[in-house]
């Protein structure tokens, strides 16, 4: 309901420290963007609304990193792979031994990961600012560039001036505030559901494994979940568990079930989703205790601070990556990453179906620089799940490894733009690609720097 509007009095707010590059959002894309920009020589600030970094992997307790490989080799390398390996090394010896060679579906220890991210951004020279929301974006008179943002936190309201902004909010918040056009959801406005993830302690992994062997069920518990739905112990909807990520033999992260009809750009929806999500998680806990051997005494030690959100805005950029690009495994002259994660669109309601589209093992497609350039703004990059793509491809690009790679490219590009005194479209893409290669980013076996590409490879 709209209760009308009020006019606030004009006020004067303090100007905070000026920075070269301002990164908004401390998830995977924001962490990589900030580190890359700072390492490139830019004075960089990273603004995050929570008291820690990590986005969905820590805020929402998404239990595992999605694949870094194309099922044959690692294709997401650079900062993302380095940070995941750093988390492994900071975990217990048993964890390190079990996952030493694993690059796909690596379980996340959220408390370890928070500390790893803190250390990584501080070591790179980034200035983090936690517990802070962006209230507004201040644009130039011609509205072609952002001059900075107004933030709100316990200190009050202040203005942070900057040369460049990287929007890693996940929802395209900064781009939307700047007036960049965007799409949201499917043709009928439907959005992928959220999930309330959680950690269960006091479980018995060896007993659980014996149950799987003896019952013939899978690690996703298809048969057991369907039995529980038929008995009324679980609601209609998802017929398997998306993921059990074993941090140890007694501690497991769980991604299971859906909360429908939540728009992650609306506080009211996030509130309802959090309440419904916790209720759903409690019902799932009772299911585990009653139906799954090894979980009889499971204890929920934490649930996500926020519902895990899969889909909101997709900004309109200089290029829109399409499902045809995905299926053709297309490369582009301005590639800054590769992607092989399958198209993973979750059911919009309890009666609809999920969509999965896989590329063959060893095959990936290019991720062009232009999908991070929002139309109409010259000093803003968007990195993460809200880049310029159609809905199907968003269902593939949205995962953390891809967000790392896009963030690293955006941060590197911002440092180059600062050095040359140009906008986001004025940098040398060939030099950006060379810098990424030097940072151990993988751009494909047949990669040729963009300025040397043959015309036949142009998009």
Q: How many helices (H) and strands (E) does the chain have?
A: 12, 19
Question: Given this model, what pLDDT does residue 236 score?
Answer: 83
Tokens representing 268 are 């009211």
Question: Given this model, what pLDDT does residue 454 score?
Answer: 39
Q: How far is CA 409 from CA 322, 375, 406, in A?
A: 20, 18, 5
Tokens representing 292 are 């799954």
Domain at 19-185+312-457, CATH homologous superfamily:
FAD/NAD(P)-binding domain (3.50.50.60)
Question: Given this model, what pLDDT does residue 1 score?
Answer: 66
Question: Given this model, what pLDDT does residue 459 score?
Answer: 38
Question: Given this model, what pLDDT does residue 239 score?
Answer: 82
Q: How far is CA 177 from CA 258, 311, 315, in A?
A: 29, 18, 12
Task: Kindly report the pTM of this predicted structure.
Answer: 0.95
Question: Given this model, what pLDDT does residue 456 score?
Answer: 34
Q: How far apart are CA 311 and CA 190, in angstroms?
A: 10
Q: Are 310 and 369 in contact (CB under 8 A)?
A: no
**Dihedral sign of CA atoms 29, 32, 37, 38 in order:** positive
Q: How far apart are CA 61 and CA 302, in angstroms?
A: 8
Question: Given this model, what pLDDT does residue 3 score?
Answer: 84
Q: Say whether 55 sits in a helix, a strand or coil.
A: helix
286 CB neighbour count, 10 Å cutoff: 13
Domain ranges of the chain: 19-185+312-457, 198-303
Instruction: Compute mean pLDDT per 10 residues along the chain, 459 residues long, and list them.
Output: 86 94 98 99 98 98 98 98 98 97 98 98 98 97 96 97 98 98 92 96 98 94 95 88 94 94 97 97 98 98 97 98 96 98 79 74 98 98 98 96 98 98 98 98 86 41
Question: Given this model, what pLDDT does residue 344 score?
Answer: 87
Beta pairing, strands 156-167 & 380-382: parallel
Q: How far is CA 64 from CA 54, 71, 86, 103, 242, in A?
A: 12, 17, 15, 11, 11
Question: Given this model, what pLDDT does residue 353 score?
Answer: 57
201 CB neighbour count, 10 Å cutoff: 15
Structural Rg of the chain based on CA atoms: 22
Question: Given this model, what pLDDT does residue 346 score?
Answer: 80
Q: How far apart are CA 457 and CA 325, in angstroms?
A: 12
Question: Given this model, what pLDDT does residue 238 score?
Answer: 77
Q: Are 158 and 13 in contact (CB under 8 A)?
A: yes
């Amino acid at each position: 309901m709209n209760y009308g509007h009020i006019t606030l009095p004009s006020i004067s707010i303090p100007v905070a420290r000026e920075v070269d590059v301002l990164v908004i959002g401390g998830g995977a894309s924001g962490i990589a963007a900030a580190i890359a920009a700072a390492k490139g020589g830019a004075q960089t600030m990273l603004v995050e609304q929570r008291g820690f970094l990590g986005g969905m992997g820590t805020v929402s307790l998404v239990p595992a990193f999605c694949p870094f490989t194309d099922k044959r080799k690692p294709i997401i390398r650079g900062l993302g792979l380095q940070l995941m390996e750093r988390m492994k090394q900071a975990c217990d010896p048993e964890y390190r031994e079990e996952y030493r060679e694993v690059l796909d579906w690596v379980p996340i220890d959220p408390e370890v990961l928070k500390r790893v991210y803190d250390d990584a951004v501080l070591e790179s020279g980034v200035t983090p600012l936690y517990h802070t929301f962006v209230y507004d974006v201040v644009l130039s008179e011609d509205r072609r560039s952002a001059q900075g943002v107004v933030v709100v936190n316990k200190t009050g309201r202040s203005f942070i001036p900057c040369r460049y902004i990287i929007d890693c909010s996940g929802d395209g918040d900064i781009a939307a505030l700047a007036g960049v056009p965007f799409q949201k959801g499917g043709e009928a406005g439907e959005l992928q559901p959220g999930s309330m993830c959680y950690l269960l302690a006091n479980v018995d992994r060896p007993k659980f494994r014996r149950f799987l062997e003896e019952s013939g069920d899978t690690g996703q518990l298809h048969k057991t979940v369907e039995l529980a739905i038929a008995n009324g112990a679980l609601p209609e909807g998802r017929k398997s568990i998306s993921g059990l990520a074993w941090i140890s033999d007694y501690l497991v992260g769980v991604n299971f079930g859906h909360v429908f009809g939540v728009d992650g750009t609306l506080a009211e929806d996030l509130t309802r989703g959090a309440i419904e999500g916790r209720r759903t998680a409690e019902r799932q806990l009772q299911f585990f205790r009653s139906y799954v051997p090894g979980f009889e005494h499971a204890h929920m030690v934490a649930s996500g601070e926020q519902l895990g959100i899969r889909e909101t805005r997709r900004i309109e950029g200089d290029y829109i990556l399409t499902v045809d690009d995905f299926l053709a495994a297309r490369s582009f002259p301005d590639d800054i990453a590769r992607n092989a994660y399958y198209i993973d669109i979750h059911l919009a309601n309890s009666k609809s179906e999920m969509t999965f589209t896989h590329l063959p093992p060893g095959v990936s497609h290019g991720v062009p620089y232009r999908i991070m350039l929002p139309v109409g703004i010259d000093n803003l990059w968007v990195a993460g799940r809200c880049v310029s793509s159609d809905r199907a491809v968003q269902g593939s690009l949205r995962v953390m490894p891809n967000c790392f790679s896009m963030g690293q490219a955006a941060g590197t590009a911002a440092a180059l733009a600062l050095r040359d005194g140009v906008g986001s479209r004025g940098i040398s893409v060939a030099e950006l690609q060379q810098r990424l290669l030097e940072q151990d980013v993988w751009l494909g076996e047949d990669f040729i720097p963009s300025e040397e590409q043959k015309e036949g490879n142009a998009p």
